[in-house]
Every structure is written in C-alpha cells, then in structure tokens.
Structure 1
C-alpha cells in the first residue's frame, strides 16, 4: 500500500548553482528551516488551447506550453550563510569580504537549485523534486512587536527534475544555536535621522522582477532574466504621540531609513533610501498609529536605493 507523505518529514534545501539551470554535484547544500505547511515550488505551463471544432460539438483539447515554476519559501529570520546567499540573490550582488561586510545591488545574477525531498531513501525509492535555475524575485522581511521576525523569498524557476534518487551532497543544517529573531531583536530604528519614535511594526520588500525566456523548438526555458527595475518598499507603523514630529520630519524628498535585526556578529543591518508618502493616522481600539510608506530611490552616496550589512 502506498505511503502517504507526512508534511513534517519533507525537507527543503538549496544549492547555489555555478552554471544556471544545472544542479551542482559539489558545493554547500543548505537545509532551509521552513514550516511544516511549506508548499513546494509549483510548476505550470502556458497551455496552448485548441479552438478547432470537432464532430458533435466537441473541442480538440490542449497542448502543454512553456513550463515555469514559482513559489515562496517562508522562514523565521535568522543569521546564517544560507540567508546571506538568498539576500545576495535578491539584490544581484555579493557581500564584501573585508571590513564591514556589505551587500549592495549589482548586476550579477545568482541562481539556485531548490531541492524538495518528499521522501528520503535509497536510490530508486526516494522522491525528490528539484527546481532548477531558481532566482529570487523578491525578499520580504516583516517584524512586529511581540512576534517573530519572518522572511519570505519568492522564486522563479526555469526547469524541474523529478527524481527517485536524493542528491549525494550531505545537507548542512542551520546551527542549532542559531537564534530566531523576534521583535525585541529589531533595533537602531532610524527614520530620516530620528531614533526616538516608537515603532510598532515594519515590512521591507525588495527584489528584481524576472521572467523566463522561451525559444522556438522547445517548451523548456533557456533561463530567466531581469524584466524591469528593482522594487524597494518599506512600510513602517509607529505610535502617534502628542506632537507632529513624524509629519514635519518626512519631507517627501529622498531621505534615509534604517534598522538592525540582531547584534554584532549575529545579525543584519538594512539601509534604505527613498521618498515617504504623506503619513496616515490610523486609530483602533488599542492605540493611535501613523502609517508610513517609503518608495526606494537611488542615492549616489549609498550607491543604490538599499544596502545590507552583516553586523
């Protein structure tokens, strides 16, 4: 009798590809600390539907068209090499290796093989789905007072392998001593130079829109590539106090915003340049808040609209 897959047994891991679309046989394979209800990257095709008329009012079906994979990996925010790799993928850059390790946006693409092991076992009995040529299209970091800090990475994948043999590379797990950040670990909050305002929550989104490239003669993508400008959006919710500090502070011109998650040696700093929309006051049964939305804008001194450091 077939064995039903237990979602809590499914393992997700990633491999940084050296050749886009080819799963490496060497290198570091990192396990991802995902939730039990994490869904695999889903592949679908742009089906070519026939409009041919057949006898007795029948249609003539469809043919499968170009194939593409999309999905989101949701994880608790932690400080680990695999997180750094995925952040690099989102900004198309690399952390510097000397001094303050800094990641700035660039034009160097990173692609990954996302391995989804539904069933471990010996060769011929395992069930492994591999999403190849996977690029990060967006990263979203969200934090709220009294809750966990979470990160979500959206992927666009070019091809899929369905295998009965697991990768020979032994996966490296996130260290058991690695810390899952909470709202209490978000610090050094800076709104256009002001560090005295009380933040309730934040959401930072950044990434590079991409699409798969298809050619005649095959339904398999030849890879994916950037298709538009990078999007950076910072949403902040602060408490409304008895002054107009926030309203007068935000000029609508390009200003700097920043926050840290974690501490020295075990965390990240996020620095955003952008234009803030007019702050909006919101009231509920608990308190009064001010909602701020910042749209990323290029800053010549910072070298972009966002950069990230390792603390």
Structure 2
C-alpha cells in the first residue's frame, strides 16, 4: 500500500469513466508540454538509420569484389577512378509500442512534487512519440492506437488517448511481434512477482523491453509523522498509523527491495529498467529512454534517470 497523505485530506477513488474524462481534459495541455520537452532534447538526435534493404538512398561506398554489378552507380563512378555502389537505407520492419498506466494509483501527487505520476507519464509518453516520429520510426500503443509512421504521430496518439473509453491496469501485449520494442510507463506498485509474471513471457518471445518506473518522491522517502491514514487508491482499503515515523525503516526497505527485485530480473531477461522521480525534469527520463532505444547505453545511464 502506497502512502497517500495525512488524515485531513482523504483521497476519493473515482470510477474508470470519471478518470478517463479527467485524463482526456488534461491531454491537450500535456501534449503541448510533451512537445516542449521533446524540443529541448531532440537537437542532434537521429533515427536508427543504417545500410540495408529499402527505397531511400543512404550513401555511396567503394565497390567490393564479389558484389553484384547491378548495384554499381556508374554515374557516380565516372567522376573519378573508383567504382562506387549505391547503398539504400535500412527500414525497420518492427514497431515501437508505447504505453502509460492510467490506473488510480497514478493520480497520486504529494507536496514534494509539482505534478501527478499520471501527468508525468503521459508527458513522457507523448514526448517520446514526438521524438520517434521525427526520427521516422513506426509507433503504436497497445489498446489505444494501431501502428503508424507519421510526423504527427504524437498528436494522433494524444487524440486516441482522449477518445479512449476503457482503462486497464495492464495492456494487452499479444500483438507485439518479435524484435519489436515496447516502452511501459507505470509506478509498478504491484508485488514484484506479479510484475515479472506479466513481463517474462513477452521478454522470452524476443521483444525488447524498456520499463520506466514513475515514482513520487514521497513514495520513496516516506516523510510521514504522527497519526496518518493511508488509503489504497486501487481498493479503498485504509490503514491508520498512530506514529507513522515508526514504519519508516520497514516501509523503505520493502519499497526499495521490490524495485531492486523487478530491476534485476528484468535485466536478466535483457530488458532495461529506469526509475524517474516526479520532482525531476521529464527530459531526463526522455533522454534515458531514447538512449536505450538507440542501443547506445553507457554505465551512467543504467538504472535511475534523475
């Protein structure tokens, strides 16, 4: 059970339809924020373009003995004494699937953060869609939007989120094909065993995964003292602590152990795990995700996105 605040401000649990309408009302502003975030970090980035089978010109390079003569570009070769072939750009046949949790626990926002976990998750989702679309990638969202390759993909994803009537605490991942990428953004507050049971099968199918844990700082540091009532946003279950500070060490140990368990097991499956705190800029999480998707991962980018 995650802490939700002092007894003076109980949190009401809205039904799914009300939550969907509230999120839809926020999406236009979140899209603007996402595009701003994308613009601050996109300079100098490129898509995963490389040599291969495709329709677009990539580069000229010297002819290698044994290659088919049909690949020689005779016009370019006539300019000097070398023989050149015309390479085409490799076109990725897979899709990058993006999903952000919309369950009640994502609505949490403590006094230590300026935004809710849900708002930050949607901003990162749309900002990543913006960056990937500008890079020419094909993106989709399970249960929300079918795969598309378009410069306005982030706007189309935002519209799809606004029109979404049903919410689920977990996406259907059966449509995601082998060698595709999936980015999952959530607080992952379920028991580690539950999270791993959901993710292990798709990881073993050959799907590349990138898991972004969204964490309100209060959920990690547990800054509560005195008589405090905690409410589970998913079930409404309540827990009243006479002296909340006495729970600090046990709570923090359990919270961090759950995270470490999930992260370690996902890495064994070849997936990336990143933690992002809502009191930090969204751009840090965007940079970390894009770096992992690009396959350029340094030791300093593994683990937590500040």
Same fold (TM over 0.5): no
- Give TM class, smaller chain: under 0.3
Report the TM-score when normalising by structure 1: 0.23
Structure with greater helix share of residues: 2
Higher relative contact order (CA 8 A, sep 6+): 2
